[in-house]
Amino acid sequence: MLVSATEMLQKAKAGHYAVGQFNINNLEWTKSILLTAQECNSPVILGVSEGAGKYMAGYKTVVGMVNGMIEELNITVPVALHLDHGSYDGCLKCVEAGFSSIMFDGSHYPIEENVAKTTELVKIAHDHGMSLEAEVGAIGGEEDGVIGKGECADPDECKRIADLGIDFLAAGIGNIHGVYPDNWEGLSFETLDAIQQKTGDMPLVLHGGTGIPDDMIKKAISLGVAKINVNTECQIVFAEATREYIEAGKDKQGKGFDPRKLLKPGAEAIMAKVKEKMELFGSVGKA
């Protein structure tokens, strides 16, 4: 059964660990992440971008697949199904489809409009027993066509959005989506600390978890980050494992072209990566 992400993230913040949000792109992704969460006895958040939702034939299809897998694979750890970087309309569609959590990304709106839309969505989400994540300060890089510069959020704006009754807050602290460039200046812990001071017990979210050095991840968790999003890293290891299989000519041996065989190394690579991240974030055994 899907749960909202509120309780798991409040526990994570209080316990000084973080829960991973691993974005799903298809059946293999979803199955790999769920099995790893169960094996690690860790809570988990399945992230779905609007583009991935469309690719998987719509939000209702995603909900059906995830609920079916939780039942058939006997997954007993807490699982939240979360819309990642949702538009206003996307959020409403996910409420209707049966997601358990949504993120409204109003960071590209003027603060007044962001406040108004967030306020409305908080009420709708909570009326449906769902959690809501909001964002202040664009996260750098590109996520499904939304391009952000990697700016640092204004701590006062963070407090204003946090006070609207949201459940967790994504704030830009110099992080970016995708692979970090060589000239990246690192996370601004000064900004993170200031945001934490203003928002108190609010669990904070770190987007763009791929490629941030482990020591920075651990420091971010110590400063109140309770949710860390990972997507690019899983995509890279999946592609590498699939390429190795094909370059080794295994698809030409026997029935090696069977998609169940062809996609297996990639699925196993995702499992290994997710386990590595859960260990780093400290969520193993916390279900």
Residue 210 labeled ligand binder: yes
How many CB atoms sit inside 10 A of residue 211's CB?
Answer: 15
pLDDT tens sequence across 147-176: 555 678 899 999 999 999 999 999 889 888
Buried b (16+ CB within 10 A) or exposed e, 137-174: bbbbbebbebebebbbbbbebbbbbbebebbbbbbbbb
Residue 135 labeled ligand binder: yes
pLDDT tens sequence across 179-233: 777 888 888 999 999 999 999 999 999 998 788 999 999 999 999 999 999 999 9
CA distance 70 to 241: 26
Antiparallel, parallel or unpaired: β 146-148 and 141-143: antiparallel
CA distance 111 to 120: 14
Residue 243 pLDDT level (bands cut at 50, 70, 90):
very high
Q: pTM value?
A: 0.94
pLDDT tens sequence across 82-98: 999 999 999 999 999 99
Over residues 106-118, the mean pLDDT reads 89
Over residues 258-280, the mean pLDDT reads 98
> What does each C-alpha distance from 276 to 37, 40, 242 come to in angstroms?
11, 10, 19
Residue 230 labeled ligand binder: yes
Residue 183 labeled ligand binder: no
Q: Supply the residues annotated as catalytic.
A: 84
**Which residues touch 163 (CB under 8 Å, ≥6 apart)?**
none
Residue 199 labeled ligand binder: no
Tell me the domain boundaries of the chain.
Answer: 6-281
Selected from 3.40.190.10, 3.30.70.1350, 1.20.1090.10, 3.20.20.70, the CATH number assigned to the domain covering 6-281 reads 3.20.20.70
**Which residues touch 136 (CB under 8 Å, ≥6 apart)?**
107, 114, 153, 154, 157, 158, 161, 169, 170, 171, 172
Residue 129 labeled ligand binder: no
